[in-house]
Structure 1
Amino acid sequence: MFKVGFGFDVHRFSEDRKLILGGVEIPFEKGLLGHSDADVLIHAIIDAILGAMGENDIGRLFPDTDMKYKDISSIVLLKEVSKLLKNKGMSIINIDTTIVAQKPKISPYTDEMKTNIAKALNIEKTQVNIKGKTTEGLGFEGREEGVSAYAIVLLHE
């Protein structure tokens, strides 16, 4: 049986944080505000996987009220979700994602992001796709207030 999951995440920019997307630190004057490292791409992927598995969302699995997740790398959280996936006897066919940000441009970093995600999930890099989009200056992303990410995953059970 095949199962599809969809994930979304958004975080606002903050002056005193690093910008982490797909487990990659991207040089930029602002980072994303959140309890963990605020990696919107990984968070969207986690929610997509959890959705396809029929599980709760990222906030219930890794609550922001639990200090053990404070500033944690989202790659660590993705590895935990990978274990859940394996325990359920499910495997990833592919993941397709979109990062929405006016700035910075993410294309120079997508290859490293794919590598990080594939490694965390024990899949091939070719099973992960990452696209970057702007909103042509519209919305909060266009006003450079934050970043959002969308992910869809196809699982095999």
Structure 2
Amino acid sequence: MKIKVGFGFDVHQLKDNHPFIVGGVDLQHHKGAFGHSDADVLLHAICDALLGAANLRDIGFHFKNTDPRWKGISSIVILKETVKLIAEKGWSIGNIDAMLCLEAPKINPHIPAMQQNIAAAIGMDIEDISIKATTNETMGFIGREEGVVAYAVCLIERPR
């Protein structure tokens, strides 16, 4: 069995009175992430980790923010397309571990729904999808609630 590890990172600006979709969950908050798609920072970091592990470049290469096909699209669709891309190279996903960094809202109550959304999109058991969250202790652009960051690692595998 051949295995590879991938790392992903994403950041989005937060704006007042804008939707805040994270892990496919609509968080009710006075600010939300801004981007070309639905700006789901968690799913974007996961996609970058998967694409990187499979040596398929990055999310911006495959889902350009200048392409009208991706304007406002759910990042669940982008995740499903990413899984298809890595499957075309013979890879399957072993596990995903992700970390969100934001001041508010609290993420812990939403983690099971995020895990379920991701598991359903990629055909995995939720036990293989770890999501954690932390704050930036009120420091920097994250602490001022100007942006949100996500990191993700994944393991992919295929027969030799």
- TM-score greater than 0.5 by the shorter chain: yes
Alignment partner, residue 6 of structure 1: 7
Q: State the one-letter code of the partner of 2:121.
A: A
Alignment partner, residue 46 of structure 1: 47
Q: Name the SS for the 2:30 alignment partner.
A: coil
CA positional deviation for 1:16: 3.7
Alignment partner, residue 27 of structure 1: 28
Alignment partner, residue 126 of structure 1: 127
CA positional deviation for 1:29: 0.7
Q: State the one-letter code of the partner of 1:100.
A: C
Alignment partner, residue 77 of structure 1: 78
Alignment partner, residue 62 of structure 2: 61
- 1:108 counterpart = 2:112: no
**Pairwise mapping of residues 136-155 of structure 1 onto structure 2 (< 5 A)?**
136-155=137-156
- Gaps in structure 1 of 5+ consecutive residues: none
Count of residue pairs brought into register by the alignment = 157
Q: Name the SS for the 2:90 alignment partner.
A: coil
Q: Name the SS for the 1:102 alignment partner.
A: coil
CA positional deviation for 1:107: 0.5
Q: Deviations over 1:28-55 (max 9, x none)?
A: 0111110000000000000000000001
CA positional deviation for 1:138: 1.1
Q: Name the SS for the 1:149 alignment partner.
A: strand
Alignment partner, residue 17 of structure 1: 18
Q: Name the SS for the 1:47 alignment partner.
A: helix
- Percent identity of equivalent pairs: 51
Q: Name the SS for the 2:145 alignment partner.
A: coil
Q: Name the SS for the 1:65 alignment partner.
A: coil
CA positional deviation for 1:87: 1.6
- Gaps in structure 2 of 5+ consecutive residues: none
Q: State the one-letter code of the partner of 2:34.
A: L
Q: State the one-letter code of the partner of 1:96.
A: D
Alignment partner, residue 91 of structure 1: 92
* Separation in structure 1 between the aligned mates of residue 26 and residue 61 of structure 2, nearest angstrom: 26
Q: Deviations over 1:53-96 (max 9, x none)?
A: 00111011000000110000000000001111222111111100
* Separation in structure 1 between the aligned mates of residue 9 and residue 100 of structure 2, nearest angstrom: 10
* Separation in structure 2 between the aligned mates of residue 55 and residue 85 of structure 1, nearest angstrom: 8
Q: Name the SS for the 2:95 alignment partner.
A: strand
Q: Name the SS for the 2:80 alignment partner.
A: helix
Q: Name the SS for the 2:11 alignment partner.
A: strand
